[in-house]
Structure 1
């Protein structure tokens, strides 16, 4: 991993800078020992033991150095390496400053009292990543992290934050931290990841995790995923040359750092000639610049006379200071300032400052490291206290590859201050997506529900996996992926697509529309026919068939039927307070007059038959004024009921907003339901009485007996209005008025047809039957027939 050599150079740069600073550790020269851990647990322990014993092979608990002035250890690019070092160094109380990613586990002072973390805390990393997901609408996301406490905490925080934003976890892959050597990893991570339907993958781990992940991948991959990578991983470190295109377009959360002044200039000056004793630099130089033979290791001129680190590609070396190098730089300064404070304290107490006879014990440095606080050369404050350790700030970088060139482009940033105070910015136009994704990729479990549809959760599946169902008839949705449709305002209605509310038009049953015109024509035609029958009865008022069964009742019935046929005219047209009152009142009173007249005619038939018997006292009751008074009493009862209706809760004009989509129907509300059905019930009582009396008197031997015709008319009347009651409950708006109009016309036509058409037939077509001679002859024949029947019996 050639790029990691920058961490060594950051340490060298800091030591040289301190040694040249007359105000920091005067008369003291800092030195250092470098040990390579190879990112291996075994090599980490081996290097630690070598440093402690001073020779190889190592001898635990014994140092070959006579004057060992080492006071601190700076190391641990990963948490696993820091734990391996800390377990051994803690035995000797050596201060250990780790420059790797911040790990809450290492912050445990009971387990690691001598360990200090330099990196800033990643407390809000999950919040920033989820904000990025939410911004682009990625709701189906995979998570990859290391299988340790730090990885578990990241997974927990990220999953919890995703759940708050209704983002689902498609899968979770955990990378074993025990596999430090990448070529020994045989876990097939990549095939499982690529098989997932999630297009966006979040990778979190340390410097080793990505290498392990890459060695597990198949040799040929197409860049089908968008990767979101945390700052602890360097995707420019590759196991194979073809991997750069795989991560093209990735978004990386990098720690914001302020590069130390002069560091870039220092890197340009580094070469084996400047540091001839640095065997690591010679090895690095030979490997990165591909020197031709072994002799070139020692002689730069044979390798490349003008070679410089800035000529190397990004995969081999980065001229910009990395986060790990920045932490290393600050770690060296932290140790220097701790030593400086300790020497100042000794001078103030009257002890010798830093002479040769002074032996510094590593454990003495702890009290100064815990309280160290200073500003580095970049102007940023540095502390080692875990409680005061600052929260990390992030630049969102877009990783791009063009042939052999690689670069990072800043496309946004995330600066957390608190949970409620955050600064998240992203420039979509600056982002170059993957090769197969020219536009913003979609990462969802299924397609979004468009306008007019709502989400329906599927049992046993995550919340992000759902079906799309159309909104109900009276509801709309004008956004994507809504959980619930919303109702339109009362004055509006949904369109066919159910994604918008349109204003309703005011409507009512008018004379101009076809249905209103048809009903009006029928009503006028029947009322005209009734008037013609009335005129005909007046013209033939002296004939026997008109005189029969009370001529006055016939006139009253015909007049009331004429008004009954005209009642529907009150139901057609714009409803007003006056028309709403007249509709039900006129209907109830007029029909009561008609039905009570029929009841009186039926009773007339019965009483007339009984009055013909010798010695009968019924003759005094068979008088026209008696039945006229009977009709008047029946009508007054209905008038009283209507008066109570008007006094309590009269009908009034209202709006029907829901019966017909797209229309606001102006209708007459009946007001009191009890009063309405009381009026109907009273008419039904009179009609039922007429039907029963007429049915019983249908076979009475009387001239022009109307009982049979009244029986049929009342049967039609009762059938119509009995079927009206349930039919009236369901229809709304215009349909409700049409049902009532139909019942009025049908029942009125039944009364007119059954009672008066037979008489009209006799008057117009059989005038010979409408004479006294015919009636006497018919009566004599009936009497003779009765005598013969009696003899036979």
Structure 2
């Protein structure tokens, strides 16, 4: 049973496909180079066949063999080799539909390029001849209508873009270049890359599509390579041959190449130790390493396989053996221990490659199919006259679709599943070392976040990098900043701007900063939110301590004035200014000073209510008392009454009703306020950075301003009455002082309103306390200051004799001018 093997041992490439004038389908600019690493394909085929032939449980009494054809680049040569194999190459004459030697052909094994497999498949499909391709999986070859007898061993690359992009995300590479073949595979993978990269915010710096014939040193191709430090190369070995050759001849030590192929570069003799591919990362379908194959490689030599025409060339080239004079396939003067495993890894690798693994699995798939078909034919076809079974290759198709290979994976299963990837790191320093070290893996079936596994400490980067390379269009925005996309540029090309007030970003390259909760504040670097400390106008604060001390001192001073008035209660100055009203006013002013203490300290519901009610009632009583004093003077000197008794009753008892009436009106306003919308504890989280200020909210702004408005009306009324009585002949006339006190009171609270509404937090509370103290002090100073001056410093004026003398002198002056 013969297998036809069609794959290249030489590298055939052309620069511009300049056609040959005399030979159709050939070119003038063909180049050929022996690729020693591809010889592993033959050895993998040979190794699998020998294992199967030595296994008594697979195809007993039947031996497998193979015919090998070194496929060239041109379609003509590929089709000629296929016809020669199908017709058993009778003197290189092609006779379609006729097998000259009556050989039992089973299937064709093709690769590595999808183009080669498609060319051969087009011919074999006419005969329904089974074809197994070991090259990269291709969607065109999976079209069962056109290639119904073609089977692909390689796994699909359904998760390759996800795997590569996951690597980009892991290393924070957001600015990468793409080099792809200019064919259907390149277009499809480009679409997949764009979708996956856009989902992960990775930008493509450039896209370069390489035609299959590209091998020239185009200057324009390399112009923008320095824009990024990471470039992804996707394709198959054949389509990227020219590109890889050009890269190998350059010194591009600043680029990390991420590839899906284990490409082999045959290095020319040079004096450079640096290599452009050192530090590259390679994604390869994971598979079990075949250690028996490595042992088999060590036994391979020209003497063991004398029919092999390639082994003598390898021995002659690398082990300096000489050909015999009589036979060019016989070697003389060879090293006794010469073996392929002694060759450098960049020339020949003893570890089975992905393509060789596919060949190995493909041969086993074919053997199992033959075995199953033979068992079926034995049951259906009796042996007569010693004749064997009648076998047609097309009969294998039904079995190839269902058979399981040695690793229990069927062909149909392999065409729909993606087995995951190993990630290899190319160690090629010094140049020629050629080690591929597994540094990680990717499994799309793993849980999210566990798909990519890497051993970063094992990675060797290109020589220019001493740490993990960076590949970004713009430098990362550190925590505390956010990205701002620049118009007309990719999303990865941005500038950094600080987060707004009370917003943070604790990661790099964030689009939007996160606002801290109301109970937290952003630190100076704007990368963390810290809890705000609770604050209020406390007695421990310098401002609170100062205001509290002033309030206590003024209330104490007011009590001192009360004591003076009580001590000198029988003196003319105390009696002359309505002693009872003076006592009421002084006591009320004491409460006015003390009520300001309700605004200092930690607020609570009771304190918030007492702040406004005590302030409103105390000041109402004080202003009503001042109004009563002013009215008393007016009634005494400017109003006529019918009878002395009526005059006494009106002057003595009339002003006394002013205080309760005015107070009751304010109580009514406060009662409505406390019933409908009373003050409550509020928080100010914005005025002072890093603090939440506790304060009392007035509740109803209308009620609060109504209270202040009513006080201003009382002050204005008191000022009017005092102003009218300023020139009346009272020995101790206090009308002028009442006018000044009301004027200052009115100015203080009119100024208070705009300042109050323009301030926040502690300052607002302090402003209200200050207004209370200032207006109360004005009343105390202007009304009782002059009296205390006379009582304490000019006691001679506070006597009845002084009043009599002053009265007589005034009368004499009046008589003199009368």
TM over 0.5: yes
Q: Please tell me whether the aligned partners of residues 180 and 210 of structure 2 are also in contact (alpha carbons under 8 angstroms).
A: no
Counterpart of 2:777? 749
- Displacement, 1:329? 1.8
* Structure 2 CA distance for aligned equivalents of residues 303 and 618 of structure 1: 153
How far the C-alpha of 1:42 sits from its partner, in A, is 5.8
CA contact (8 A) 1:397 1:411 kept: yes
* Higher mean displacement: 434-443 or 309-318: 434-443
Say if 2:514 is the partner of 1:514: no
SS in structure 2 at match of 1:623: helix
DSSP-derived class of the 1:326 partner: helix
Contact 1:527 1:565 in 2 (8 A): yes
Do the aligned partners of 2:247 and 2:276 also contact (CA within 8 Å) in 1? no
Q: 1:783 & 1:470 partners in 2: Cα distance?
A: 88
State the alpha-carbon separation in 2 of the partners of residues 784 and 280 from structure 1.
156
Deviates more, 1:388-397 or 1:349-358: 349-358
Contact 1:256-1:392 at 8 Å conserved across structures: yes
Match of 1:148 among 154, 175, 183: 183
Moved more, 705-714 or 57-66: 57-66
Cα distance in 2, alignment partners of residues 77 and 503 from structure 1: 65
Map of 1:34 onto structure 2: 68
**Deviation readout 1:395-421 (Å, 9 max, x if unpaired):** 222221242423222222233437769
- Partner residue in 2 for 1:639: 667
Counterpart position of 1:407: 435
Q: What SS does the corresponding residue of 2:71 show, helix, strand or coil? A: coil
Report what 2:375 is aligned to: 344
Matched-pair contact (CA < 8 Å) for 1:3–1:318:
yes
Q: Select which of 215, 218, 224 maps to 1:183.
A: 215
> How many Å separate the matches in 2 of 1:609 and 1:39?
131
1:206 is the counterpart of 2:272: no
Equivalent position of 1:684 in the other structure? 712
Cα distance between partner residues in 1 of 2:426 and 2:459 = 9
CA contact (8 A) 1:593 1:631 kept: yes
Q: Is the 8 A contact 2:248 2:265 kept in 1?
A: no
Residues 37, 264 of structure 2: 8 Å contact kept: no
Give the conservation status (yes or no) of the 8 Å contact 1:105–1:150: no
1:248-287 aligned at under 5 Å gives the runs: 248-260=278-290, 262-287=292-317
Secondary structure of 2:224 counterpart: helix
User: What displacement does 1:100 show?
Assistant: 0.6
- 1:504 Cα shift? 5.2
Counterparts of 1:1-150 in structure 2 under 5 Å? 1-39=35-73, 43-45=77-79, 47-48=81-82, 50-51=84-85, 54=89, 65=100, 67=102, 69-150=104-185
**CA gap 1:17/1:578 in 2 versus in 1, 3 angstroms:** closer
Offset from partner CA, 1:260-287 (integer Å, 9 cap, x none): 5642233223333333333344445545
1:215-266 residue CA offsets vs partner (Å, 9 max, x unmatched): 4449542422223322x33255657865963222222222222345642233
1:471 touches 1:477 (CA, 8 Å); kept in 2?
A: yes
Corresponding residue of 1:771: 803
1:563 aligns with 2:591: yes
Equivalent residue for 2:423? 396
Cα contact 1:187–1:216 (8 A) shared by 2: no
SS at match of 1:171: strand
Deviation (angstroms), 1:28:
4.1
What is the distance in 1 between the residues matched to 2:268 and 2:576?
A: 119
Counterpart mapping for 1:265-344 below 5 A: 265-289=295-319, 298-302=329-333, 306-344=337-375
For structure 2, the 5+ residue unaligned runs are 1-34
Distance 1:426 1:784, change over 3 A: farther
Q: What do residues 124-182 of structure 1 show as CA deviations (whole Å, max 9, x unaligned)? A: 22333333333333333333333333333333334433444x34123243443432xx6
Contact kept in structure 2, 1:39 and 1:208, CA below 8 Å? no
> How many equivalent residue pairs?
775
Alignment of 1:504-583 (within 5 A): 505-534=533-562, 550-575=578-603, 579-583=607-611
CA contact (8 A) 1:50 1:56 kept: no
Query: Following the alignment from structure 1 to structure 2, what is the Cα–Cα distance between the partners of residues 354 and 443?
Result: 75
Q: Distance in 1 between matches of 2:562 and 2:390?
A: 138
Deviates more, 1:118-127 or 1:265-274: 265-274
Residues 461 and 612 (structure 1), Cα distance of their counterparts in 2 relative to 1, 3 Å cut: farther
Give the direction of change, closer, same or farther, for the CA distance of 1:373–1:699 in structure 2 (3 Å limit).
Answer: same
2:108–2:130: 8 Å Cα contact kept in structure 1?
Answer: yes
Q: How does 1:488-499 map to 2 (within 5 A)?
A: 493-499=521-527
SS at match of 1:34: strand
Distance 1:576 1:550, change over 3 A: same
Distance 1:623 1:654, change over 3 A: same
Does the Cα contact within 8 Å between 1:80 and 1:177 map onto a contact in 2?
Answer: no
SS, match of residue 381 in structure 1: coil
Q: Deviations over 1:403-448 (max 9, x none)?
A: 2423222222233437769654222223333322233333334333
Residues 204, 233 of structure 1: 8 Å contact kept: no
CA gap of 1:239–1:82, structure 2 versus 1, over 3 A, is farther
Q: CA deviation at 1:768?
A: 6.3
Q: In 2, distance between residues paired with 1:400 and 1:663? A: 58
Alignment correspondent of 1:790: none
Q: Equivalents in 1 of 2:305, 2:245: separation in Å?
A: 35
Contact 1:140–1:167, Cα closer than 8 Å, also in 2:
no
Q: Which residue is 1:431 aligned to?
A: 459
Q: 1:777 to 1:106 in 2, by over 3 A?
A: farther
* Deviation, structure 1 residue 309: 1.1
Q: Is the 8 A contact 2:323 2:329 kept in 1?
A: no
Q: Offset at 1:360? A: 4.8
CA–CA distance in structure 1, aligned partners of residues 651 and 371 of structure 2: 136
Once residues 812 and 249 of structure 2 are traced to their aligned partners in structure 1, the CA distance between those partners, rounded to angstroms, is 123
**What's the offset of the Cα at 1:723?**
3.4
In 2 relative to 1, CA 414–758 (structure 1 residues): closer, same or farther, beyond 3 Å? same
Q: Give, in whole Å, the separation in 2 of the partners of 1:58 and 1:85.
A: 18
CA distance in 1, matches of 2:705, 2:385: 112
CA contact (8 A) 1:286 1:297 kept: no
Superposition TM-score, scaled by structure 2 size: 0.82
Paired with 2:804 and 2:467, the residues of 1 have a C-alpha distance of 104
1:723 is matched with: 751
Q: 1:718 to 1:87 in 2, by over 3 A?
A: farther
